[in-house]
């Protein structure tokens, strides 16, 4: 029976320089999985490669040689000397490996706990394995259980709730103000990575018109094109305040770009529709006093970071609950895995009894020629029923209690008792 | 007494809604909703039972009147819930119904023999029912206004994440409040017209300068000002919420005033 092992490195165990050298692209992963057919020791394999981790999940025949076999395989495939990465690897086997896979799938091992991408990445990795038929009974079961556990963790704990990045936090806030971001007009003042991510995130949530104001109009045009929006000049900002709903500001200006009085002045023409300022700039672009105006809301970078910090703490609390769900899943998986060891014995037992019965049955039926077809059929059915009844208890014992303690004791006993080994 | 049973259900419904607020599991508000519905069922049964007993629309005692006022709140919330998805307001509705019903139980049950004429009674009954439904909607507007102020405060001060997470968006609270005010105001106006007509039939005058007429008119003017300002200059959000609360306080005041004059 194959043993489950996990070999890998992640953001905690290895620096980015090594991680990027070992990362597998989709095509690389596919040809790596093909190597499986040349190995006698590695029986099943799955390659998970994301920007934070590279992991090989495998089912191996022999733990002693199997792990080394995988290591050399990686080293050869990536043309990287083993000594460069060997001591950065973590190696798990048995229940620890199962727990690790469950934790990764549930996003407990991620850099940002609870981030949702990892499950999709594992699904993708599993698809590759399926296309190369590189997973068998054990890994299939393991991965399916991992998906199931991950889903449970997500629905039963709050691990994925609450934004943990500036752009998510901004959208979450916008939702609490406007109800929905859909069809809201966005004005981006200045440029900058964080501000642009926030705008992209708003677009994904179906924000409608995007306006971009930049000191250099050309740069503004470029950005506007990227967001499918419209560029306006800096002077036009005041006019735009009358109709935009969300303003994201990130300029290098040392002074305030939008003053309190300007906003105060536009509230009446806006008919007091709410307006939300997200100020990502340092020094700040938006006068914090604007927050005191009715229906106007200002959040600066510190406010947003404060929210994120609280949310991360919240997620960590939820992670404890998730660990409990995972403990339970590991126990269940190991029960199944242990029962797998009994399968050959159970099959042998069944075969032996059935062949004995079959032999006796044909002898008897042969000498009772006067029986009608129906009668002999009834006898055959009865014989099967007797076999099933007799075997039911021993088999269920082997499947449950038999693998609780030392499984070999009971398999050996069964094998001797029924002389299964010839 | 059947009413005790409905008090029990209102109490359980309130508890379920409070639990929903803290634990945020969806089944809890559903339980709350159905408990409220069951409470309403027993409450209405009690009312119909009284109706058949005395053969006049039962609004002649202080207790009867208040019980009718209480019945209107869950009904208006059910109608409201049908339109807008503002679950947490159910907790407000359940709590206020519970509160009013309990007060009603301890009030005098003695009925004044004032109105026995069936024709007059049906005028008065429709007047009272419509006004009470209007008041119930105005109370929901007040509830939405209170929630709006809390949520606005948490967003402005940026710290209290507890309410931030649990309360719905400002937009939803604001529009829910406004919808309730429109409903309440329409019913209030209609009820007042019927009231005036009734006055004309019984006393020969539309307007008698009675305190209750004056108070009701002041409330009506306040709400019409609120709606007018919203439509013209866009009074929304905080100001609208505060007005909804003041308006409802005034409504309660009017109601209590009338009761005081009538039964004291």
Task: Collapse the DSSP code of A382 into the 3-class scheme (helix H, G, I; strand E, B; otherwise coil) and give the result.
Answer: helix
Instruction: Please check whether residues B137 and B219 belong to one and the same domain.
Output: yes
CATH number at residue A255: 3.40.50.720
d(CA A135, CA A141): 9
Task: Collapse the DSSP code of A337 into the 3-class scheme (helix H, G, I; strand E, B; otherwise coil) and give the result.
Answer: helix
Instruction: Please check whether residues A297 and A194 belong to one and the same domain.
Output: yes
Instruction: Please check whether residues B172 and B258 belong to one and the same domain.
Output: yes
Instruction: Please check whether residues A198 and A278 belong to one and the same domain.
Output: yes
Domain residue limits at A398: 343-417
Choice between B138 and B105, residue whose per-residue pLDDT is larger: B138
Q: At what angle do helices A301-367 and A137-156 cross, to 10 degrees?
A: 140
pLDDT mean over B207-219? 82
Instruction: Please check whether residues B39 and B76 belong to one and the same domain.
Output: yes
Dihedral of CA atoms A369, A371, A375, A377 in degrees, nearest 10, equals 20
Contact check, Cβ <8 Å, B171/A274: yes
Number of domains, chain B = 2
Is B228 in the A-facing interface, judged by CB distances under 8 Å?
Answer: no
Instruction: Please check whether residues B88 and B194 belong to one and the same domain.
Output: no
Q: Please, which pLDDT band fits residue A313 given cuts at 50, 70 and 90?
A: confident
Domain residue limits at B51: 1-108
pLDDT mean over A41-61? 91
**Mutation target among B171, B174, B239, B243 for the A interface, most CBs of A within 10 A:** B171
pLDDT reported for residue A113: 86
pLDDT reported for residue B199: 83
What is the maximum alpha-carbon separation in chain A? 111
Q: For residue A175, give how far its alpha carbon lies from the nearest alpha carbon of chain B (Å).
A: 7
Report the percentage of chain A scoring pLDDT > 70: 98
Structure-token pair, residue A198: 């926030």
- Cβ neighbours, 10 Å, residue A116: 13
Which of B108, B140, B170 is the endpoint of a domain?
B108
Instruction: Please check whether residues A7 and A151 belong to one and the same domain.
Output: yes
Cis amide bond preceding A283, omega within 30: yes
Q: Say yes or no to pLDDT of A152 above 90.
A: yes
Number of domains, chain A = 3
Q: Is residue B65 part of a domain?
A: yes
Instruction: Please check whether residues A44 and A125 belong to one and the same domain.
Output: yes
Residues in chain B: 264
Q: Please, which pLDDT band fits residue A207 given cuts at 50, 70 and 90?
A: confident
d(CA A289, CA A378): 92
Task: Spell out where A216-300 has E strands.
Answer: 230-232, 246-250, 275-279, 296-300
Q: Is residue B113 part of a domain?
A: no
Query: H or E element: which one contains A185?
Result: none
Residue A206 gets which letter from DSSP? Answer: T
A146 within 8 A of A108, measured Cβ to Cβ: no
Structure-token pair, residue A106: 């549930």
Q: For residue A258, give how far its alpha carbon lies from the nearest alpha carbon of chain B (Å).
A: 18
What is the maximum alpha-carbon separation in chain B? 61
Instruction: Please check whether residues B103 and B185 belong to one and the same domain.
Output: no
Could you tell me which of A305, A306, A287, A309 has the C-alpha nearest to residue A296?
A287
Q: Is residue A222 part of a domain?
A: yes
Contact check, Cβ <8 Å, B155/A307: no
Q: What does pLDDT average to over chain A?
A: 88
Instruction: Please check whether residues B28 and B66 belong to one and the same domain.
Output: yes
Q: Which residues pair with A57 in a beta bridge?
A: A6, A46
Instruction: Please check whether residues B104 and B122 belong to one and the same domain.
Output: no
Q: Is residue A320 part of a domain?
A: no
d(CA B102, CA B117): 30
Q: Is residue B99 part of a domain?
A: yes
Instruction: Please check whether residues A115 and A146 belong to one and the same domain.
Output: yes
Which of A156, A185, A216 is the endpoint of a domain?
A156
Q: Tell the burial category of A214 from Cβ atoms under 10 Å away from its Cβ (0-12, 13-18, 19+).
A: buried
Which of B82, B108, B134 is the endpoint of a domain?
B108
Instruction: Please check whether residues A192 and A130 belong to one and the same domain.
Output: no
The bridge status of strand A90-93 relative to strand A3-10 is: antiparallel
Instruction: Please check whether residues B24 and B140 belong to one and the same domain.
Output: no
* Residue for token pair 């014995």: A345
Ramachandran region, residue A114 (left: φ > 0; alpha: ψ -120 to 50; beta: rest): left
The model's pLDDT over B87-104, given as tens digits with 9 standing for 90+, comes to 888 888 899 999 988 888
The region of weakest confidence among B69-73, B102-106, B254-258 is B254-258
Q: Is A51 a catalytic residue?
A: yes
Catalytic, out of A1, A16, A51, A385: A51
Q: Which residue of A has its CA nearest to B163?
A: A176
Q: Is residue A403 part of a domain?
A: yes
Q: Is residue A329 part of a domain?
A: no
Could you tell me which of B102, B95, B101 has the C-alpha nearest to residue B16?
B95
- What's the Rg (C-alpha) of chain B? 19
Q: What is the ipTM of this complex?
A: 0.84
pLDDT mean over A338-355? 87
* Residue for token pair 């209290």: B160
The bridge status of strand A3-10 relative to strand A246-250 is: unpaired
A339 within 8 A of A403, measured Cβ to Cβ: yes
Q: Is residue A125 part of a domain?
A: yes
Structure-token pair, residue B61: 């005692």
Q: Is residue A268 part of a domain?
A: yes
Instruction: Please check whether residues A172 and A145 belong to one and the same domain.
Output: no
A128 within 8 A of A39, measured Cβ to Cβ: no
């Amino acid at each position: 029976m194959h043993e489950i092992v996990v070999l890998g490195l992640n953001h905690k165990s290895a620096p980015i320089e090594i991680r990027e050298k070992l990362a597998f692209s989709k095509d690389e992963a596919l040809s790596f999985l093909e190597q499986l057919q040349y190995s006698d020791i590695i029986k099943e394999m799955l390659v998970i490669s994301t920007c934070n981790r590279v992991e090989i999940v495998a089912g191996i025949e022999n733990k002693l040689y199997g792990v080394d076999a995988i290591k050399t395989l990686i080293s050869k495939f990536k043309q990287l000397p083993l000594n460069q990465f060997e001591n950065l690897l973590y190696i798990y086997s048995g229940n620890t490996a199962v727990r690790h896979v469950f934790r990764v799938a549930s996003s407990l091992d991620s850099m940002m706990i609870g981030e949702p991408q990892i499950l999709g990445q594992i699904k993708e990795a599993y698809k590759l394995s399926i296309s190369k038929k590189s997973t068998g009974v054990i890994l299939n079961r393991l991965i399916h259980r991992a998906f199931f556990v991950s889903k449970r963790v997500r629905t039963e704990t709050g691990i994925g709730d609450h934004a943990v990045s500036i752009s998510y936090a901004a959208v979450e806030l916008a939702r609490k103000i406007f109800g929905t971001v859909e069809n809201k007009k966005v004005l981006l003042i200045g440029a900058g990575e964080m501000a642009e991510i926030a705008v992209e995130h708003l677009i994904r949530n179906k924000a409608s018109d995007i306006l971009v104001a930049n000191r250099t109009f050309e740069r503004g045009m470029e950005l506007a094109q990227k967001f499918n929006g419209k560029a306006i000049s800096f002077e036009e900002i005041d006019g735009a305040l009358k109709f935009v709903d969300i303003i994201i500001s990130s300029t290098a200006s040392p002074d305030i770009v939008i003053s309190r009085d300007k906003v105060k002045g536009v509230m009446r023409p806006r008919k007091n529709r709410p307006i939300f300022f997200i100020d990502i700039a340092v020094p700040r672009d938006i006068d914090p006093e604007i927050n005191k105006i009715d229906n106007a809301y200002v959040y600066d970078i510190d406010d947003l970071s404060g929210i994120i910090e609280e949310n991360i703490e919240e997620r960590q609390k939820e992670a404890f609950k998730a660990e409990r769900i995972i403990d339970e899943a590991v126990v269940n998986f190991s029960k199944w895995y242990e029962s797998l060891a009994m399968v050959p014995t159970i099959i042998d037992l069944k075969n032996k009894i059935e062949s004995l019965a079959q032999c006796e049955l044909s002898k008897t039926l042969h000498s009772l020629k006067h029986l009608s077809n129906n009668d002999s059929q009834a006898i055959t059915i009865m014989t099967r029923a007797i076999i099933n009844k007799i075997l039911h208890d021993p088999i269920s014992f082997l499947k449950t209690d038999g693998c609780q303690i030392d499984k070999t004791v009971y398999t050996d006993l069964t094998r001797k008792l029924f002389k299964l080994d010839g | 007494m059947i009413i005790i049973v409905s008090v029990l259900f209102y109490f359980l419904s309130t508890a379920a809604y409070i639990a929903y607020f803290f634990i945020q599991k969806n089944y809890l508000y559903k339980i709350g909703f159905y408990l409220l519905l069951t409470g309403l069922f027993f409450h209405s049964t009690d009312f119909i039972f009284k109706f058949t007993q005395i053969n006049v629309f039962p609004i002649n005692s202080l207790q009867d009147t208040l019980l009718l006022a209480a019945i209107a709140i869950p009904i208006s919330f059910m109608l409201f819930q049908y339109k807008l998805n503002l679950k947490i307001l159910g907790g407000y509705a359940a709590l206020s119904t519970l509160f009013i019903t309990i007060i009603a139980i301890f009030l005098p049950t003695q009925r004044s023999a004032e109105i026995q004429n069936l024709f007059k009674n049906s005028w008065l009954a429709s007047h009272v029912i419509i006004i009470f439904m209007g008041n119930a909607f105005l109370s929901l507007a007040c509830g939405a206004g209170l929630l709006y102020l809390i949520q606005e405060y948490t967003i402005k001060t940026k710290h209290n994440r507890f309410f931030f997470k649990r309360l719905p968006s400002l937009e939803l609270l604001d529009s829910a409040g406004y919808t309730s005010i429109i409903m309440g105001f329409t019913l209030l106006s209609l009820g007042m017209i019927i009231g005036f007509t009734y006055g004309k039939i019984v006393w020969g005058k539309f307007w008698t300068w009675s305190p209750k007429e004056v108070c009701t008119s002041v409330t009506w003017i306040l709400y019409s000002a609120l709606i007018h300002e919203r439509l013209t200059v866009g009074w929304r959000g905080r100001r609208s919420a505060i007005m909804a609360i003041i308006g409802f306080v005034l409504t309660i005041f009017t109601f209590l005033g009338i009761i005081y004059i009538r039964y004291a």
